[in-house]
Chains A and B, each alone.
Chain A
Amino acid sequence: MSVYLLNVGVFICIYAILALTLNVLIGYAGVFTLAHAAFFGIGAYVAAFVAMNLSSSLVVVLVASVLTAGILSVIIALPALRVRDEYFVVVSLAIQILCVTVFSEWKGFTGGLGGIVNIPLPEIFGGTIATPMQFFLLALGCLAVITLIIGLMVRGSFGRSLMAVRDNESAALALGKNVALIKTLAAALSSGLAAVAGVVYAYYLSFINVQTFTLDTSVLVMAMVIIGGTGTMCGPILGAALLTMLPNALSYVSFLPQTEIGSIQQLLYGLAMILMMIFRPGGIVGAGRSKRNRN
């Protein structure tokens, strides 16, 4: 039983990391991306590659993954500087689809549809992380560090510049803010830290394939951020915890057919997204109405 709870705990941490980092773009930068799962994937694939071929040290793997994803974030930063709003949503959709194609076709690096198996256990300070408890502590530690980084960023001058760009780009520009640089840095921060979730995921399951990094995951994480509350710190974590526990909770409801749990889960969060947007666009934690009103 405790192993089961720890397993749920690890997944909550992984999704909370994804939701928090996505919130940097959606909530604070006003850049609405649907390509977040692509960076989750980049983190996981780089982690698997480094762990199997170069080094078993957790620190080396983390640095390699975060840097790769951070640098590759230019593929969303570049179009985000050129196009806005609806246009960018479509661009990010396209990027997500392109990345999934690359993940499933670049067989030498990603293992294609079969994925990568037998990723070795991570080593840190001479010890190996192996038991569920150790993995839970690792995931929790990563989540804590990322929460701290993003929390500090939001309170600092960079966070305020970011929100200024979100609320009124022209005004921020007029005040001498370097909008292009701010957006690029936000994308790098968000994507780089999302790769941490990929690293934890790859190590924990010791198996990855393209199924985990598709548009469905991007949408799930988006739903977590939105249901929890965009532009808040606790919102995404709350959303991640709720939506991760949902399928587990549903499996206790005896009259539901077990094979349809996945569909019922998606149906419920789809419904939650619609109702939330009509009655409480700010999310559970958010400030209610009109906070994001930019028109």
Chain B
Amino acid sequence: MVLLQLLINGIQTGTIYALTAIGFALIFGSTRIFHFAHGAIFVIAAYVFKFTFGDLSLHWGIATIAAVSTAVAVGLLVNFLIYVPIQRHEGSYFTIFVASFGVVIVVQNAIAIIFGRGFVAIETPLSNAVEVVSGLLMAPLFGIALVCSVIILISLHLTLTRTHVGIALRALSQNPELVRTFGLSTRRLSTYAFALGSALVVPGAIFTGAVSGLNPTVGLHIMLISLVATIAGGIGSIWGAAWIAFAIGVAENLVLWQMDSQWSEAVAFAFLLAFLIFRPAGLFRLASAR
């Protein structure tokens, strides 16, 4: 029964990880920008939702719209104000990564100053656990998160396979030169990738806030998971990233059965290290080697 409970918790964590990882995988895969600040956008979205829903007690729909629009706006601003000028004079991953890391530090501390460093939770009766079977606790939020994630994943899949923008984005991740040859603007496509990827952090951010609470550094952890998933899944493979992120979430919880919780993160990273050393191209490699 304990194992089943852990499995359920794992599925919940895994879906949150998967949604965030997909956003990063989409941006990194199509633009090759090492967008570390994705984690910062996650934190911003979570706190905007917390502020509008929890503190201003607005309707959850309005709060969600506020969170989505802030996330997209910040994602696009980071792209236009930081990545585009850097790419104009220098393309090194190093420069972009440092600037992106700078964004994470600024956002983390700005939020710490405004909202405090402690844990805050998004209060909702939906996160109260109910005993489903004897010894098995489940919150209604779990079901909602799962259904939302499935809907989002299906619509994302349809967007990427059925619309022009989606197909162009996938093409961009495989061969940017060819995309340019076809007369498509890679800059405009990057904008779409940033908008879509940033919007995808919102559900994960809201569910994290309601399930386990928020603090200004929560973005770092989720970002590390997304990085691990994107790289282990194979850069360019969005579903690879989603599956790995999901697996990490489940594994992180199942590990608790035998080990202390302090080790759960370490296990995920030991896994990554082994992966990178023995299979650097990732599990679900799509595009050709760089």
User: Which residues from chain A contact B277 at a C-beta distance below 8 Å?
Assistant: 78-79, 82-83
Query: In whole angstroms, what is the CA distance A165 to B168 when docked?
Result: 37
Q: Count the B residues whose beta carbon is within 8 Å of the partner chain — how many?
A: 43
Please measure, in the bound complex, the distance between the C-alpha atom of A101 and the C-alpha atom of B270, giving whole angstroms. 11
- Residue numbers in B under 8 Å from A102 (CB-CB): 266
| B-side interface mostly | helix
B82 an interface residue at 8 Å Cβ cutoff? Answer: yes
Closest to A269 in B: B105
* A93–B227 CB distance below 8 A: yes
Closest A residue by C-beta to B227 = A90
Interface residues of A in 249-280 (CB under 8 A from B): 260, 263-264, 266-267, 269-274, 276-278
Q: How many A-B residue pairs have CB under 8 A?
A: 130
Alpha-carbon distance A185/B103, docked complex (angstroms):
33
- In the complex the two chains form, is A95's CB within 8 Å of B102's CB? no
Is A281 a contact of B95 with CB atoms below 8 Å?
Answer: yes
B86 within 8 A of A: yes
Query: For the complex, what is the distance from the CA of A219 to the CA of B92, rounded to whole Å?
Result: 19
Is A98 touching B97 in the complex (CB atoms < 8 A)? no
Q: In the complex, which residues of chain B have a beta carbon less than 8 angstroms from the beta carbon of A287? A: none
Task: Bits for A47-90, please: 1 = Cβ < 8 Å to B, else 0.
Answer: 00000000000000000000000000000001100110111011
Interface string of A217-252 (1 = CB under 8 A from B): 001001000100000000000000000000000000
A295 on the B face (CB < 8 A):
yes
Q: Say if the beta carbon of A182 comes within 8 Å of chain B.
A: no
Decide: A32 near B97, CB < 8 A? Known: A87-B276, A101-B262: yes
Contact of B101 among A86, A219, A267 (CB under 8 A): A219
Q: Which chain A residues lie closer than 8 Å to B86 at the CB level?
A: 277-278, 281
Interface size on A, residues (CB 8 A): 45
Secondary structure at the A interface, as helix, strand, loop or mixed, is helix
A169: Cβ under 8 A from any B Cβ: no
CB-based contact B265/A101 at 8 Å: yes
Q: Is B68 an interface residue (CB 8 A)?
A: no
- Contact (A277, B96) CB under 8 Å given A101-B263, A293-B90: yes
Task: Decide if A289 is an interface residue (CB 8 Å cutoff).
Answer: yes
State whether B92 touches A278 (Cβ < 8 A): no
When distances are taken between beta carbons in the complex, the residues of chain B under 8 Å from A215 are: 220
In the complex, which of the residues B86, B98, B103 has the most CB atoms of chain A within 10 Å of its own CB atom?
Answer: B98
Contact B90 A281 (CB under 8 A): yes
Cβ–Cβ contact B228 & A90, under 8 A:
yes
Question: In the complex, A99→B101 CA distance in Å?
Answer: 21
CB–CB A263/B273 < 8 A: no
Which residue of B91, B104, B231 is within 8 Å of A293 (Cβ)? B91
Contact between chains at A87 and B231 (CB < 8 Å) = yes
Q: Does A290 contact B (CB under 8 A)?
A: yes
Q: Which residues of B contact A97 (CB under 8 A)?
A: 224, 265-266, 269
In the assembled complex, which residues on chain A have CB atoms less than 8 Å from the CB atom of B270? Answer: 94, 98
Q: How far is the CA of A289 from the CA of B89 in the complex (A)?
A: 8
Does chain A have a CB within 8 A of B94? yes
Evaluate whether A273 and B102 lie within 8 angstroms (CB atoms) in the complex, with A278-B82, A295-B91 already known: yes
8 Å CB contact of A290 from B90, B97, B99, B106? B90
Q: Are B272 and A32 in contact (CB under 8 A)?
A: no
- B97-A86 in contact (CB<8A): yes
Q: Which residues of B contact A (CB under 8 A)?
A: 34, 82, 85-86, 89-99, 101-106, 108-110, 112-113, 220, 224, 227-228, 231, 260, 262-263, 265-266, 269-270, 272-273, 276-277, 280
Residues of A bordering B, CB below 8 Å: 32, 78-79, 82-83, 85-87, 89-91, 93-95, 97-98, 101-102, 104-105, 215, 219, 222, 226, 260, 263-264, 266-267, 269-274, 276-278, 281, 289-290, 292-295
What are 21 A-B contacts with C-beta separation under 8 Å? Answer: A82-B280, A87-B276, A97-B265, A98-B269, A98-B270, A104-B262, A105-B263, A219-B105, A266-B105, A267-B113, A271-B106, A272-B102, A273-B101, A273-B102, A276-B98, A277-B98, A277-B99, A278-B86, A278-B99, A281-B95, A293-B91
